[in-house]
Amino acid sequence: MLSCKEVGELLSQGIDRKLKLREKVSLKLHLVICKTCSCYEKQLQFVAHSAHRLMRSNKDGQGIPPLSDEAGIRITRNIKQQLNEEQQQKKPE
């Protein structure tokens, strides 16, 4: 029988990797009888799901936005400018 601490660890790993059948079965057995771990499972899933949404929101969505078009254009311009300067230096008159 797994302890709650081990279950907590496995629940998290279940988000990162495919659990082995043996692990899945022992998890299920524990979760049926342990309300606290079932509650923890839902909250852990919520944390993982929220992280996913946070980092992949689009321009109108909530969370961490992507790089704005203005900034993107500005930065690309500066990159190209530095590239040009590099080219100039390679071909001295």
Partner 1 sequence: MSIECPPGAISDPATWVEQHGDALFRYALMKMRDTSQAEDMVQETFLAALKARNKFAGQSSEKTWLIGILKHKIIDHFRKHKREQSSDDIETLSEQLDQQFDQRGHWDVSLTRWQNPDQAHENEAFWKTFSACITHLPEHLADLFILREIKGMTTEEICKLLDISTTNNMWVMLSRARMRLRNCLDSRWFNHDNKELS
Tell whether residue 17 is a contact of partner 1 (CB under 8 A).
yes
Output the six-digit token pair for 45: 């899933």
Output the six-digit token pair for 70: 């203005």
| Shorter beta-carbon distance to partner 1: residue 24 or 42 | 42
Give the footprint of partner 1 on residues 45-74 (CB under 8 A): 46-48, 50-56, 62-68, 71-72, 74
Tell whether residue 12 is a contact of partner 1 (CB under 8 A).
yes
3-state secondary structure (DSSP) of residue 22: helix
Residue type, 71: A
Residue that the structure tokens 């919520």 belong to = 46
Tell whether residue 42 is a contact of partner 1 (CB under 8 A).
yes
